[in-house]
Homo-oligomer: A and B are copies of this chain.
């Protein structure tokens, strides 16, 4: 049963959050999770759902913008690690999951017009067109799983939070109208663990890969107390180093700057769940 595609609300902020509706489906099963989201049976955050499977950032653009956005991704692979691009008008992404339908398989979409967030939807069938192209980009959830499997502690997860998000003063490489600063996530580690984190995440270039910076936040224009939209955890203990990774919000800022007539993304933390295993992304 498809979702009704009704407007959740015209947004004044991105803070709105529906209560998750947990049904009797297997939360460890990626296909079951997509089916639950598709039917409306589940509408919550995707963190912790279908563990072991890649979750993706999604950006849907009109064809006229998609070509140059692909170039932007190519020029900025660390913040924009492209996992899949659809054909125009094709709602499938078979490289990520056979049954995937991008119009229904995300619990919450953000709709941007001319670069401004105007709408949240639970289904985009009503605004889908043959002109739209989907981009699925890697997400740090994948490498966070690898970090934990390597025995590294992510205290922000234990606090039910996500990694702190910061806008740097490092410019990405522009492509046409797409341009803007590099956005990063910060995770704090003791030095030996920071070294281990470099090793572990280096194996995952398709999900942001190795850190882009370590140590002094000011060197990349970051003040740890000033998070992007107050998102995430900024705590760094005295014996820890802040370690910074490129973040999938970078292309969202670039799209905002490009002001395409239409852009559809997932809402933050409502990711696209795929059938690709995180471990399958490891290059070594």
Chain A residues in the interface with B (C-beta under 8 A): 191-192, 194-195, 198-199, 202, 210-216, 219, 239, 241, 284
Contacts and interface: CB of A to CB of B under 8 A. Distances in A.
B219 A191 contact: yes
29 contacts: A191-B213, A191-B214, A191-B215, A191-B216, A191-B219, A192-B212, A192-B213, A194-B214, A194-B215, A195-B198, A195-B210, A195-B211, A195-B212, A195-B213, A195-B214, A198-B198, A198-B199, A198-B202, A199-B199, A199-B202, A199-B210, A202-B202, A214-B214, A214-B215, A214-B241, A215-B215, A215-B241, A219-B239, A284-B284
Contacts of A239: 219
Nearest to A284: B284
Nearest to A210: B195
Contacts of A191: 213-216, 219
Contacts of A284: 284
Contacts of A211: 195
A11 to B, nearest CB: 36
Contacts of A213: 191-192, 195
A219 B241 CA distance: 12
A52 B188 CA distance: 37
A202 B202 CA distance: 11
A13 to B, nearest CB: 34
Contacts of A216: 191
Given A191-B216, A194-B215, A198-B199, 17 more contacts: A191-B213, A191-B215, A192-B213, A194-B214, A195-B212, A195-B213, A198-B198, A199-B199, A199-B202, A202-B202, A214-B214, A214-B215, A214-B241, A215-B215, A215-B241, A219-B239, A284-B284
A35 to B, nearest CB: 40
A171 to B, nearest CB: 15
A78 to B, nearest CB: 11
A194 B198 CA distance: 10
